[in-house]
Structure 1
Amino acid sequence: MTDTTPSSRFLTLPAELRLAILDFALSSQNNGDGFCNRSPVWPGGLYLDENYSSSSSNLGILLTCRQFRHDFTVLAFSRIPFVITDIYSSLLTRLNILQSHQISAIRHLTFVAGARQFREMVHWHRYPFNVEALRLDSLKVVLHRSAHWHYPSDFTSDMVSLLRRLQHVQSLSFFRNGANVKGFFKTWYNRLIGLVLKEDHYQRYDAPSAPNVEDTWWDWGFDDSGEWFELQAREKRALLAEEEYLEGMRPMVERLMREMEREEVDPDPRARNGWA
């Protein structure tokens, strides 16, 4: 008896064309990055969409057949924003269930963070999750929303040290996500950036082993309406004479001072934390 099962015409196409078609398919069915602008409780800001799933529709195409899984896993993993919502397990254990080629393909990763996740994060040596193969275009840290309070100021100093050495992350973002933050979320941002500037000057000119130049420099910006801030990775900066360095840093310091002054004259600071 002859085999009359029709062969897939798609698999007979050139590899470049198949990749282009799958790239389009993944883009068209992508259900966002996991964030939305609405909440039944909190009136403003960006919030993690509790209904978002990295795999429900985005990765379903890999279940078509073995050939699809073999050919398109790397492409799919590089396009999909993955979200880790489990705050009770170590972050690394969530990655360990993947194969090495899947890990190295991931480009966009979001995780919900409580105190445990912050403690793990500030002890990364040089790479996210201490996984050198992981090279992220975006890493998003979302504060866990509950009745409990976050104390991000407890991690400010260690976070600054991490920022000086962290590599393989192009964009690092922090989202309040409607969480309760002691001292206010934007206050923490201002203090964090202020300490980045202070520590950078100290390590370059005043530390006993100076000069100590950072591995990565970051540009920063705060989104008031979304209540989140982003750090964009840049190349390490050249070592300059102190006077030239101070002159170059002046615009950054003045910008930070304006942000802090605007925060201090806020007519109703309770609104920043959802109390008003």
Structure 2
Amino acid sequence: MNVISTTADPVPMTDEQKFIFDLKGWVLLPGVLEPELIEACREHLHKLKNETDSLPEYKRYSLAGPAQELIDHPAIVGVLREIIAPDPGPDSYGFRCENSFAMYRTAGQSGSSPHCGPIVGPLAYRVLNGRIWSGLTRVVWELTEVQKGQGGTPIMSGSHKVNFPVPEDYRQFDPWLYESYSCPPGSVLIFSESCWHYGLEWKDSSQDRRAIFNCYNSYLAQWHKVNLPTEVIDQMPPRRQTAFRGVWGHNFHQGQHNDYYNQDNQAL
């Protein structure tokens, strides 16, 4: 893909991407961020790790500051509409961003062992009437180059649709089972949390891994407790704020759809 400006219209998910996502449980969009945004996000992550006191307390979060542009970046909105939920109206999203954390990993450091997210009910991956409902979905913004087998987040492709428990022997990292990737800075990896995935050891001694992991869900379901203060959300544009609204569908008493965000309609 080409670099996509933060002011561009959302890029629709292609049929090819939809096929790959259903087949593997993940899709990679390489090199979509503008260089200026990449650098701004890197600098914010550097301060989070090394100069925390230089930031006001309410800005000590991965999505405070420049990285809030990643929440509804045009490169991913079209995909999330297709795999999580369509927009309920012109002023709100069908998805919510319910969790985020920064990844700063030096050479020799590993992340979590192979695991998958909750795979029950509305949190699990499924396809109904020709439409994907990915449930709990992770979006990983890679802010540094990733070389295949040298780091990143390998995924057991197809494990989002397994019909049998994953054997214990396969709950350990095996490069034959877990597919890794290469990508330039500013790429985004989108995967269903129903997939088994792994925090591979970072092996690139020339640079640290810097990434932002955001977790999404439908506005009708929730897994994570929100970890972003209202001071940060209140500074966002109104439509972006709807990615942090409460979890419900319709208020029949007042005839109100859940298509807005305010102090009385915040996710917990």
* TM score, norm. by length of structure 1: 0.26
Scaled by the length of structure 2, the TM-score of the pair is 0.26
Which protein has the bigger helix share?
1
Q: Does 1 or 2 have the higher relative contact order (CA < 8 Å, sep 6+)?
A: 2
